[in-house]
Every structure is written in structure tokens, then in C-alpha cells.
Amino acid sequence: MLSVKEAQEKVINSAVAKKTVKVPIIESLHMVLAEDIVSHDDIPAYDNSAVDGFAVKYVDIIGAEKNYPVKLKLLKDDIPAGKIPENAIESGMCIQIMTGAPLPQGCNCVVMKEDVLKEGRDVLIFKECRQGENIRFEGEDIKKDDVVLRTGKKIFPADIGIMASTGTDMVSVYKPPVVGILPTGDELIGINEELGLGKVRDSNSYSLSAQIIETGAAHKNYGIVKDDKELIRNSILSALDECDILLLTGGVSVGDYDYVREILDSIGVEFVFWRVNQKSGKPMAFLTYKDKFIFGLPGNPVSVMVCFEFYVRPLIKLFTGDGELSRKKILAKASDDYV
């Protein structure tokens, strides 16, 4: 019987054929890049003002301070964001400019509006600026043809913003697997049915579905299959036509009515392991069928969720290219004795 570590190693060493798919960038959140993202443009695409203020020549305001302001002539038109400047800045002149607006010709620094006083068509400058101050230069953040995000990067909201800013609308990502759920057993009933003697509502399909959704994979629930060999066999084969991973719950122990192992053997699966030295979840199986994977999970609700976290989640993450196979572990120190 395998240890937990040995069983986990067999799962994560599986030969998973990762698939890629092109999706709109807004749908790529928390997926993993399957290609480098290259910028189509310089970002910013042009020199622009980093503040609301006044575009000037820096040599005109050298020495400006609170007690000895420099007076400049204010050009009539201002420059809001999105407007192409029509006037060049000549010596002794300035023009009002907004954050993000393109710089006019002749400007080489921008004075913040807090350091300026307007008096009609004159402007008093109370603080000198260095050349280039308060200017965002073309290509300062990203150069054209720069690789801004690399293959294998998990995508977060800021990454989607970067892709949008570089002109990327579709992106290639590793395709999450389709995970099927097939509960078996005469004792199982639907969650809306009345409980009777010897019957149990199928809660496992719902907890597993929620765990699958958390991973970002797609899930398909095939409904309860009664303990009938031919019915189980046909249901398994049908599900394997659609799924990359199939989760069977119940029917993997050694009871007289636990047909699943016999049925799986008959369809030509390869048994990787059948039992694991763990509690809960000892009667657990991992198998392969062509390029598909099958887990035979126990029927106990706690056991099935534990086995998913230890074995199914890492396999799903291999499909998605996510290097973080398991949940993050946090170490903590107890502040009190546990009695």
C-alpha cells in the first residue's frame, strides 16, 4: 500500500498533455499564459505631462522661488488630455497643460499648478524645475517589442491591464481540464428527494463541483448511477468521451456490490494505484485511460473532499500550467495550550 507522499508523486508525475486556447483577455483571469506577451507600441506612446500645470522652457524659470517669482506670458489655448498641441513654446511663454496631455514643441519641463499664480495673461512661477521634470517620456514604461509578460505567468487583474495597454485583445492560455463527476450507488438519492431507510442524499457531487470551480476547471455532473454493471460501464465510457479527468465516488472498496474496479479493468484502464495508507480515504484509486485520468474516490463526504485536495487538485493544476499545485500552507504558532 502506498504512502500519501508516494501516491501524490505518482499523480504529479503523470504525463499530462497540456492544451492551449485563445481567449479574450478579460476571460484569462487566473489562467496561465501559454505565450509571451509582446508590446505593439511604446508606452507612453508620446511625451506627456505627468501633472496638471504649465508647460515651460526650464531655462526661463531658473532661480524661481517663493520670494522671487518668474513672470511668463500665458498662451491663450490650453492643452487637455487627448488634444494635439498647436502652439510651440517660445522663450518667455508658457501654456496650461493637463495630466496625460501631449507636450507642445519647445517644452522641456512642466511646473505644477500649485507652484503657479495666474494674473490675467501673466503667470508667476514660484518654483524652478529641472529639465524633464514632471514629464513622462515616450517608451519610459514599456518599449515597443518588449516582452511584458512571459509564458507560465499566472494572470492577475494588473496583467490584464498591461495586455490591454499594449494592444493585446486575445491571449493564448493553458486550457483548464473538463472534470466529470459520476456518483454510484443504490443508496444515493437526489438532494430534493425525501430521505428513507437506507438512503443518503448525494452531497459529494456538490462539494466536488465547488472544489473544481475553485481550481478554475470546468465540471460536468453526470448524475447518480445505480449499482448495475452495464449501466456503470456505459456511463463511464460516455463520460470519458467528454472529460479529461473523471471522478467516480463510491464503489471502490471490496464490498459485494462494489463493481467499479471490475468494470474499469474490463474497459482497459491502467491501474496506477488502488489504495493509499491514509485515514480518511484509504480506498482510493488512480487510473489512466488513453490520455484521460480517473479517480475512484471513497463515498464518505469528508474522505472525498480530502482526497480531492491531496490528489485531484494537483492534477488539475498540471493541466492549467499552474506551478502552485496545492493550496498555500501557512505556519502559525499556538498562543495557548490545546487541551
- Structural domain spans, the chain: 4-16+176-320, 22-27+29-42+143-173, 48-136
At the top level of CATH, which class does the domain 48-136 belong to? mainly beta
* pLDDT, mean of residues 18-38: 96
- Is pLDDT above 80 for 178? yes
Residue type, 15: A
Please state, rounded to an integer, the average pLDDT across all residues of the chain.
91
Task: For residue 224, give the C-alpha cell.
Answer: 447518480
Helix (H), strand (E) at residue 189: strand 188-189
pLDDT on residue 155: 97
Q: Does the pLDDT value for residue 240 go beyond 60?
A: yes
- Give the number of other Cβ atoms within 10 Å of residue 297's Cβ: 28
Predicted TM-score (pTM) of the model is 0.82
Grid coordinates representing 178 are: 473538463
Residue 233 — φ and ψ, nearest 5°? -60, -50
Architecture of the domain defined by 22-27+29-42+143-173: Alpha-Beta Complex (3.90)
Q: pLDDT tens for residues 121-157?
A: 999 999 999 999 999 999 999 999 999 999 999 999 9
3-state SS class at 294: strand
- In this predicted structure, what is the pLDDT of residue 250? 75
Question: What one-character-per-residue DSSP string does 91-121 give?
Answer: TTEEEEE-TTPBPPTT--EEEEGGGEEEETT
Spatial CA neighbour of 177 closest among 313, 323, 290, 27: 313
What pLDDT does residue 257 have?
Answer: 44
Q: Which CATH architecture has domain 4-16+176-320?
A: 3-Layer(aba) Sandwich (3.40)
CA distance 100 to 189: 63
Q: Given a cut of 60, is residue 218 above it in pLDDT?
A: yes
